Chain A
Amino acid sequence: VSAALKEGRVTPTELCQRCLSLVKSTKFLNAYVTVAEETALKQAEESEKRYRRGQPLGVLDGIPVAVKDNFNIAGIETTCASNMLKGYISPYNATVVQKLLDQGAVLLGKTNLDEFAMGSGSTDGVFGPVRNPWSYSRQYKEKSVPESHSEDEECNWVITGGSSGGSAAAVASFTCFAALGSDTGGSTRNPAAHCGVVGLKPTYGLISRHGLIPLVNSMDVPGILTRCVDDAAVVLGSLAGHDPKDSTTIQDNFEPFELPSLTDVSKLSIGIPKEYHAPGLSSEILALWSKAADLFKNAGAKVTEVSLPHTRYSIVCYHVLCTAEVASNMARFDGLEYG
């Protein structure tokens, strides 16, 4: 679509308007908490001027994006899907948001999530649960046993996974081309899997957390949700790098890269951790997992079993650290400040 914008086949404003109307028509998904229609159109207008001058800011110029509602955006309400922050209008932009805006991206709005990003279903926010766009797909409808009540249409939907469910649903329903989520214990990857989109959790320290309302300071990262892997690489390229406002970002220089098209996998070595074959894994998942492994093996890659012996301690450690940090970070939301 970026090429299309460049060649003038479609204008940023047209793109923005189409996405906005799609947002409106998919309102039943409850993916968006706030839609910033006016500012989005203004940003699209600015982008259009740049394209006409032949000076787009980059690949992301004019691309509609959505941002999870735990990122601060100046002038827009940031709620984290909680009543504690009701009416809180942030005075500043999160670093990652600023980077997107500097690239000319068009911010459509803030997406729904589990309250304060605590959850894995996007069901626990005060604005209600997010519905998976795939609930309305033909395959799902065929699968589910028809109870032949029309009211059931309303309750017969599936969750998006969480906590960045709104972002995942927004991307999956084509209302935007990329969305920002956050990932602490899978909150970007989980909904990405549920909604069939690409979810990238960058390594901690690669992307600045400044402006991301913290859940677990030592594990949070901003996450990227897109419809294809190359898009994710593009967004990562524009977001990564040291931020003086975040002491936990690494100092080394970051070079944005383009994913090479992989035709020859014979030099690739893939490890399958045996501990991940956990008890309770469904046969369907196991089959898909094996299928993916076989695909690589048959293409000539080296697929071996490896061991990650500390795997079984990970969830316990996570719980201890997570609860401690969350208790600490949430102490400030006493209703007196912030909304």
Chain B
Amino acid sequence: VLNRRCVEAAVMTGLALNCSINKKSLFDRKHYFYADLPAGYQITQQRVPIAVNGSLSYSFCTDNKMSQMVTKTVRIKQIQLEQDSGKSLHDDTRSQTLVDLNRAGVGLMEVVMEPDMCCGEEAAAAVRELQLILQTLGSSQAVMAEGQLRVDANVSVHHPGEPYGVRTEVKNINSIRFLAKAVDYEIQRQIEELESGGTVLNETRAFDSKLGCTVPMRDKEGKQDYRFMPEPNLPPLILYDAKSLPANMDHQQVVNIDWIHERLPDLPSVKRAKLVERYGILPEHSFTLLNEDGLAEFFESVVKQTPMKPKKVIGWILNDLLSYLKQHSLTVKESPVSSFLLADLLNLLEKKEISSTAAKQVLAELWKGEGKTPLEIVKEKKLELIQDQKELEQICQAVIDGQENEVIMMVLG
């Protein structure tokens, strides 16, 4: 029996990726024997998938300083629904493989991209954007380390103007960083192979994250005959839109594409544009804000609580707060400095009660998470800016009085 939520998630994702949704899609069985596939076949959509011909826009920086952002597009070939297999855990020390079947049969959405990307960085940026979109839609939590988002990279090299070369498939990539590394390594390996007169085999390789290279995977010889067969237990999946919906159809029983379309949340690209427009921050900043889970909300919350200009606030968020979080490997949620505290601090700065150097010191104190307010810390450490002119003169005079020799030397030249 088909899982309704899977269909809805696939339609949402298809719409977010500008795909055409196939109103009628079919299910097939893909047969192969493997211990982690208990039924001996996997239900997938080989003939007519649920969504086709979309596009994904992504941006990345051409240098490390976040000043040059390039936007590119990758075409989405199709999105298909299929079943997951179990998980094989290879225990090489004891020469055994354990099979975990808890995952078997769970619904999967496979997004197939066209080979429009040319290096690891682009691939990583595209996948990152896809990850953000999926998380925004709620289709998936898309955490690669937990296997919620799995990426198989297909890499090939060719001279410009010539047809595409033989491709290899790289599996076992557990993070976006490793994706970039794996793709770049594979590109290099293939180039070296071809330049030394060898050929690239159409094979499946695994990425070894420890060694940073790809190695051939065992037992995948030649092309497999998957004996595709229409799935007899699942009738064709019919989706409706407002035009094609029959009048007497029960709303609960069908999936209405237009209904889903109306309820799509703001996609990351839209969110970023809104942030730039509303707060006047730079586009690169909006990327960083969205890239960190919860950071955009934190930023907006601080902005609400302080009259300081967002353009200044963003500096504190991205330079100070974010670097603290990264240093201590914390997420925004785990930050000991809440938006309230930071806003408090920035207010002091705005009112010119402290200098920005002092503010940084206060932040360092706040970071310890001892529960003190910024004001308390300022008073404790006597970091207040002295506003009183007379007091300042007195201090200066005291300094000069105490350093007679230096003063004489300065006056003399």
Q: Which residues of A contact B (CB under 8 A)?
A: 214, 216-218, 244-248, 324-325, 327-328, 330-332, 334, 336-337
CA of A331 to CA of B38 in the docked complex: distance in angstroms? 8
Q: How far is the CA of A13 from the CA of B41 in the complex (A)?
A: 46
Q: Scan B227-242; emit 1 where CB is below 8 A from any A CB, else 0.
A: 1010011110000000
| Interface membership of chain B positions 38-54, coded 1 if the CB is closer than 8 angstroms to chain A and 0 otherwise | 11110000000000000
Docked-complex contact B31 and A331, CB < 8 angstroms: yes
Residues of B within 8 A of A214 (CB): 233
* Closest beta carbon of chain A to B239's beta carbon, Å: 15
Partner of A334, one of B1, B40, B229, B234: B40
Whether A217 touches B232, Cβ cut-off 8 Å, given contacts A332-B39, A334-B40, A337-B38, is: yes
Interface check B2, CB cutoff 8 A:
yes
Given known A218-B232, A247-B234, contact A328–B1 (CB-CB < 8 A): no
B171 lies within 8 A of chain A by Cβ? no
* B33–A328 touching, CB < 8 Å: no
Alpha-carbon distance between A328 and B29 when the two chains are bound, in angstroms: 8
A332, B229: Cβ atoms closer than 8 Å = no
A277 to chain B, nearest CB (A): 32
B233 touches A247 (CB 8 A): yes
List of B residues within 8 angstroms of A244 by Cβ: 1
Which A residue sits closest to B99, measured CB to CB? A336
25 residue pairs bridging A and B, Cβ less than 8 Å apart: A216-B232, A244-B1, A245-B1, A246-B1, A246-B233, A247-B1, A247-B2, A247-B234, A247-B235, A248-B232, A248-B233, A248-B235, A325-B229, A328-B29, A328-B40, A328-B227, A331-B31, A331-B33, A331-B40, A331-B41, A332-B39, A332-B40, A334-B40, A336-B35, A337-B38
What's the least CB distance linking A36 to chain B, in Å? 28
Cα–Cα distance between A324 and B227 once the two chains are bound (Å):
9
Chain B residues near A324 (CB-CB < 8 A): 229
Q: Once the chains are docked, how many angstroms separate the CA of A220 from the CA of B95? A: 43
Q: Inside 8 A of A337's CB, which chain B residues have their CB?
A: 38
Of the candidates A217, A330, A331, the one whose C-beta lies within 8 Å of that of B233 is A217
Interfacial chain B residues near A327, Cβ < 8 Å: 31, 227
**Closest 10 A-B residue pairs measured CB to CB?**
A331-B40, A217-B232, A218-B232, A332-B39, A247-B1, A332-B40, A217-B233, A337-B38, A324-B229, A247-B234
B33–A325 CB distance below 8 A: no
CA distance A332 to B104 in the complex (A): 13
Q: Which residues of B contact A328 (CB under 8 A)?
A: 29, 31, 40-41, 227, 229
CA distance in complex: A73, B230 (Å): 29
* Separation of A334 and B39 alpha carbons in the complex (Å): 9
Q: Which residues of B contact A330 (CB under 8 A)?
A: 40
Residues of chain A within 8 A of B1, CB atoms compared: 244-247
- How long is the Cα–Cα vector from A245 to B3 in the complex, in angstroms? 11
CB-CB nearest in chain A for B2: A247
Distance to closest chain B CB from A329 (angstroms) = 9
Contact flags (1/0) for B174-193 with A, using CB distance below 8 Å? 00000000000000000000
**Within the complex, what minimum Cβ distance (angstroms) separates A54 from chain B?**
38
Docked Cα-Cα span, A77 to B40, in Å, equals 23
B316-371 contacts to A (CB < 8 Å): none
Known: A247-B2, A334-B40. 15 other contacts (CB 8 A): A244-B1, A247-B233, A247-B234, A248-B235, A325-B232, A327-B31, A328-B29, A328-B227, A330-B40, A331-B31, A331-B33, A331-B39, A331-B40, A332-B39, A336-B35
A248 to B232, CA, bound (A): 8
Contacts of A331 in B (CB 8 A): 31, 33, 39-41
Question: Nearest CB to that of A247 among chain B residues?
Answer: B1
Q: Which A residue's beta carbon lies closest to that of B234?
A: A247
Which residue on B lies nearest to A337, using beta carbons?
B38
- Which residues of the other chain, A, contact B29 by a CB distance below 8 angstroms? 328
Contact A332 B38 (CB under 8 A): yes
Q: Which residue of B lies closest to A217 (CB)?
A: B232
Least CB distance from A206 to B in Å reads 15
Rounded to whole Å, the gap between the CB of B229 and the closest CB of chain A is 6
Chain A hits for B234, CB < 8 A: 247
Contact with A along B215-228 (1 / 0, CB 8 A): 00000000000010
Q: Which residues of A sit under 8 angstroms from B232, Cβ to Cβ?
A: 216-218, 248, 325
* Chain B residue at smallest Cβ distance from A220: B232
Expressed in whole angstroms, the Cα–Cα distance for A248 and B234 within the complex equals: 7
Q: Which of A217, A244, A325, A331 has the most CB of B within 10 A?
A: A331
> Within the complex, what minimum Cβ distance (angstroms) separates B249 from chain A?
11
CA A216 to CA B230, docked complex, whole Å:
12
Select from chain B the residue with minimum beta-carbon distance to A332: B39
For B231, give the chain A residue with the smallest CB separation: A217
In the bound complex, how far is the Cα of B227 from the Cα of A330, in angstroms? 14
In the assembled complex, the Cα of A328 lies from the Cα of B43 at a distance in Å of 11
B33 CB contacts on chain A under 8 angstroms: 331
Taking the nearest CB of chain B, how far is it from the CB of A183, in angstroms? 16
Contact with A along B1-21 (1 / 0, CB 8 A): 110000000000000000000
CB distance from B248 to the nearest CB of A (A): 12
B227: which A residues are within 8 A, CB to CB?
327-328
**Residue in chain B with minimal CB distance to A205:** B235
Q: Which residues of B contact A325 (CB under 8 A)?
A: 229, 232
| Minimal beta-carbon separation of B226 from chain A (angstroms) | 11
When distances are taken between beta carbons in the complex, the residues of chain A under 8 Å from B2 are 247
Shortest beta-carbon distance from A336 to chain B in Å: 8
CA distance A230 to B379 in the complex (A): 96
Q: Which residues of B contact A248 (CB under 8 A)?
A: 232-233, 235
A216 to B33, CA, bound (A): 20
Smallest distance from the beta carbon of A172 to chain B beta carbons, Å?
32
CA distance A337 to B104 in the complex (A): 13
Name the distance in Å between B102's Cβ and chain A's nearest Cβ.
Answer: 14
Within B260-307, which residues are at the interface with A (CB < 8 Å)?
Answer: none
The CA of A245 and the CA of B2, in the complex, are separated in Å by 10
CB distance from A308 to the nearest CB of B (A): 24
Collect the chain B residues with CB atoms within 8 Å of residue A336's CB. 35, 38
- The CA-CA distance from A247 to B7 in the complex, in Å, is 15
